Structure 1
Amino acid sequence: MLRDTWLIFRRDMALSLRNPAWIMIGLMQPLLYLFLFGPMFAKVAESTPGFPPGDGWMLLTPALIVQLALFGSSFAGFGLLADYRAGVVERLRVTPVSRVALLLGKVFANALQTVAQSILIIVMAYFLFDIDPPFGGIVLTMIIVALLSVTLASCSYALALTIKSEEAFPAILNAVLLPLLLLSGILLPITTGLAPQWLYNIARFNPFRYVVDASRSGFLGDFTMDALFTGCVVLAAMTALAVWWGARTFQRENA
């Protein structure tokens, strides 16, 4: 299976590198937030009670990296829908390639692209906004982003193969992603000092909220076993469930 995974991974990476413009296009949304929303976020973080401790840029940068994975990986299924329409999925049914390898090769390629984009965001924030995260925190954040990308890409591919509709796919994603974004604390941390109690209670059921808190903790160099541990456990559970769903869908579709 490792060889099959490598072959699919290399194919998807080659397709992405032939058109690197899409990598830069994926960076546009977090960069716009960084430049147009970041200055206001930093001011609010300095003067508003209830914000987590730390510089505003240090709180915003890891959250935007999670946002990059949230939106970039969730729309990965569009590529699979194009392959399905072109008959690529149909041709793969007659090959001896492992069905799980088909999924893993694709999601690993997506994760690598997301990590590369995340590194570019950190480098830009380092030079322009003078952030100073510890090296261990950067590595931990990249691991979190990679796992989150694998999780969301697996769900995206599974959903795409389930509905097989390029019209319904973006509508479903937009309906799901917007509340996940608003309740994750990416744009504003959802704490008891900032949010009303009812909104705080609803946000507690959003698993991405714990992933954002874990990425912020690692980026700030806070390696205590509170937000970081909870976020990592939640992310590991989501990754396992998402890969299981994606693998099962690929096996059923290519049976």
Structure 2
Amino acid sequence: MSTIALSPSRASRRGGPTFVTHTLLLTGRQLRAAWRMPAFLVMNLVQPIIWLLLFGQLFKSVIDIPGFGVAGSYLEYLTPGVVMMLALFGSAWSGTVYIQDMDRGVMNRFLTSPTNRAAMIVSTLVYQSLLAIAQSLVVLGIAFWAGARFDGGVTGILLLLLGVVLLTAVFCSLSNAVALLARDQTALIGISQLITLPLMFLSSAIMNTKLSPEWAQNVAAYNPFEWAVIVGRQALSAHPDWATLWGHAGLLLGLAVVMAAWATSAFRVYQRSA
């Protein structure tokens, strides 16, 4: 994988080591690496598509359970949850790129160069967000082909993608911070699974939390994955509750800023102990 650590002379020819320039260069580096391995991107779609089509058929009668309280088909209910699952799992593994850079010595070259630290974090967020958006559109297309119809229209889809980007920013930053602090692939994978699976099941992605125990409903209220699912589901509905949608989007944005700041500060911890 190529490196783009800028030397001082090279940075001056580019007009100085700017945040935007470094973000674009680093994002391009990751996009080129992804372009060389398209099979990896396709494999990331397999599990969500299986869940969408399999769960959509196996559990299509759950909407008839008293108290479920959802209009339309179960497939339409499930689709926003599967889209957010795709964003959650993809972003939670993003720190593996940092682990690879550490093992190859690339990370040390970045940190001893004028490369902007914030750009290193933001470029990863941009890259993961672009992938998540592309994959989300594929899932929405498959859901439409399978019979799901969404009353939110184009505006609803754009707001759903906003939720995808915000969720990606939260867990991509978390994954990057854990990678910089743990510096071990096995530890990163273990921590990611420990966090993502409970968050997924303690949400309304698959089942309406109204049917869950009270303690699970209370936990879901503080679950950032659930916030994203609510944003997506409200966005695609015929009559969104705008206060609920923007309120949960705001919570995701605030958490994303905090996580990005933590991930950026983790570079200093890594550099001091490297």
TM category, shorter: over 0.9
Cα distance between partner residues in 2 of 1:228 and 1:162: 34
Q: Are 1:211 and 2:228 matched, yes or no?
A: yes
**Alpha carbons 1:58, 1:220 under 8 Å: kept:** no
Rate the CA distance shift 1:208–1:153 in 2: closer, same or farther, 3 A. Answer: same
Q: Does 1:248 align with 2:265?
A: yes
1:188 match: secondary structure: coil
Residue in 2 aligned with 1:49?
Answer: 67
Q: Does 1:173 align with 2:192?
A: yes
1:13-92 matches, within 5 Å, as 13-92=31-110
**Distance (whole Å) between structure 1 residues aligned to residue 200 and residue 150 of structure 2:** 26
> Quick check: 2:150–2:238 contact (8 Å CA) kept in 1?
no
Q: TM-score, normalised by structure 2?
A: 0.87
Q: Structure 1 residues 198 and 253, CA, compared in 2 at 3 Å: closer, same or farther?
A: closer
With CA pairs under 8 Å and 6+ residues apart, which has the higher RCO, 1 or 2? 1
**Cα offsets for 1:85-121 (capped at 9, x unmatched):** 1111011122211111111111211110011000011
TM-score by length of structure 1 reads: 0.93
Deviation at 1:201, TM superposition (A): 2.2
- The offset of 1:252, in angstroms, is 4.0
In the alignment, the residues of structure 1 paired with residue 239 and residue 168 of structure 2 have an alpha-carbon distance, to the nearest angstrom, of: 23
Q: Which amino acid aligns with 1:140?
A: L
Deviation above 6 Å: which 4+ runs of structure 1? Answer: none
> Secondary structure at 2:204's aligned position in 1?
coil
Say if 2:159 and 2:231, in contact at 8 Å, map to a contact too.
no
> Is structure 2 residue 219 aligned with structure 1 residue 202?
yes
Q: Does structure 1 conserve the Cα–Cα contact (< 8 Å) formed by 2:84 and 2:229?
A: yes
Rounded to whole Å, the distance in 2 between the matches of 1:65 and 1:224 is: 20
Is the 1:137–1:220 contact (alpha carbons within 8 Å) kept by the matching residues of 2? Answer: yes
CA 184–173 in structure 1, closer or farther in 2 if over 3 Å, else same = same
Report whether the alignment pairs 1:131 with 2:149. Answer: yes
Q: 1: CA distance between counterparts of 2:207 and 2:102? A: 39
Q: After the TM superposition, which residues 110-149 of structure 1 pair with which residues of structure 2 at under 5 Å, given as runs? A: 110-133=128-151, 134-149=153-168
Residue 111 (structure 2) aligns with: 93
Superposed, 1:146-165 pairs within 5 Å as 146-165=165-184
3-state SS of 1:242 partner: helix
- Percent of residue pairs bearing the same amino acid type: 28
Counterpart CA distance in 1 for 2:171 and 2:234 is 22
Larger-gyration structure (1/2): 2
Q: Is the 8 A contact 1:185 1:209 kept in 2?
A: yes
Deviation at residue 47 of structure 1 after TM alignment:
4.3
**8 Å CA contact 1:150, 1:239 repeated in 2:** yes
Q: Residue 17 of structure 1: CA displacement? A: 0.8
2:41 counterpart letter in structure 1: I
**1:183-219 deviations in whole A, cap 9, x for unaligned?**
122111212xx12223222322323222211210101
Task: Count the aligned residue pairs.
Answer: 253
Amino acid at match of 1:85: D
